[in-house]
Amino acid sequence: MGRRRFSLIFCILAIFVFAVVQCTQVKSKNNDSRGPAYAGSTACVSCHKDLTESAVHNSHFNASKMLTKPDSADSLHIPDGEFVFNEQTKVQVKNRVDGLYQSALINGVDKKTEHTDMIFGAGNSAYTFAFWYGKQLMQMPLNYLTKEHQWVNSPGFPDNQIYFGRPIVSRCLECHSSFADKKMVQGANFSIEEEYVKNSVIAGIDCERCHGPAAQHVAFHEENPTVKTARFMVSYKKLALTRRVDVCGVCHSGTGIRTVTSTFSFKPGDTLKTMPEYSAYRGEDPDVHGKQKQLLEASVCYKIGKAECITCHDVHDNKKPGLAIYSAKCISCHQEVKHETLKEKDKAVLAKNCIDCHMPVKESHAIGFQMSNSKEKIPYKLRTHRIAIYNELVKRK
C-alpha cells in the first residue's frame, strides 16, 4: 500500500515538474510582451530572410527606438547643439559617454537635465526625443530636423520657456511602435494619467504589427517545412481593397481616431469604420500631416483606378524610390495622357516627374518648428496623397 502511494506521489511530482519545464521552455522561446499568440520578429528571419533584412532598415521599423545602451544613438549621427529662447534661457544638447542629454540652462546654471531614453521618427525629416519620468514617457524640449540640421523647439511647446512636462500618450505609441502595455492611474487633482510597463514597449513597426500574430503560423511551418503555402496568416491579396488600405490607415489617418480599446488590437482584415470617431474623408482637404488615407480616398485614382498604398510603396524595401520610379507607376495606367495645355519643353521634363504636379509638397497647418533665438517657425512640409490636377500649378506652367 505504501509503495503504491509513493509511486502515485512520484508520478504526480514528475508530471508537475514536466509541466513546469514545458511552461518555462515556452516562455523562454516566446517572451513577446503582446502575449503567446505573437512569435516576435526574429522568428520571421529563418523563412523570410531577405524581406526582414531589408525591412529592419526602413522607416516603419525605425519609427521609434529604445536607447537601452550608451551608444544606442551613435548610428543616428545626432550632433550636440543649443537652442536659445532668450539671453537667459537656453537648452543644451550633449552627447555624453552614457548617452544623449538635454539640459535646461537659466543664466548659465543647469536647472534640469534628462537622459534620452527613446527616439521617435526614422530621421527622414526629424527626430523627437523622450525620457522616462517614473513609469511615464515625457517629451523632451527639443526636436532635431535632419534636413535642416537644426535643433528646434518641439511643436506645440511654449515659445518663450523650456518645457519638460508633456506626457507621450499611448496614441503616439500606437503609431510609432508595435506595442506598449499601459495602466491608467489617478494623478493630481483627480486627473487620470497613463503609465507604461517599461519592458513591454516594442519600438518600431515590426512584422506582426502589420501582418498580425504569427506564433501559430511559425509553429506550423517549423513542424511542416515542406508546406510552402502560408497557413494561419491573413492573406493581403484576399482582403477587399478597403480592408487593405485600412491596415495602413490605422496609423496614416491622423490623430482623429478615438477608440475604447487600443489600436494595437487592430489586425489585418479588421475595418476602421468600427472605430468610434474615425475621421473618414467627407470632401474636405485634410492636413498633409498623418492623413494619407483620407487624402488617398479623395483621389480619383483610388475611387476609380483602385490605386492603394502598396501600388506605389513597397513597405518591406529600405530604398526610397525617386520621382522617376513613382512617375513610371503613374504612366503605367495613364499612357494616353497628352498634357495638351503644357508647352513642349515642359512635356519632356514632366514625363519623368508626374509627382510634383499631381502630388505637390504642401505645408502642414498642424505642425511648425520654432527656430532658435527667434519666434519664426519652419513649416513642416509633406507631399500630399490627394492625387489630382492642381489648377494653381497648371496656371504657373
Which residues, given as ranges, of the chain have pLDDT below 50? 13-15, 17-28
pTM: 0.85
pLDDT of residue 193: 86
CA 278, CA 273: separation in Å to the nearest integer?
A: 7
Burial of 257 (0-12, 13-18, 19+ CB in 10 A): buried
Give the tens place of pLDDT for each residue, 319-355.
778 888 898 899 888 888 877 777 776 666 676 888 9
pLDDT of residue 346: 67
pLDDT of residue 30: 65
pLDDT of residue 197: 94
CA dihedral sign, ordered 325, 327, 331, 333: positive
- Other Cβ atoms less than 10 A from the Cβ of 342: the count is 15
Kindly state the DSSP code that residue 186 receives in the 8-state scheme. Answer: E
- Amino acid identity, residue 393? L
Give the tens place of pLDDT for each residue, 236-249.
989 999 999 999 99
- Amino acid identity, residue 60? H
pLDDT of residue 23: 42
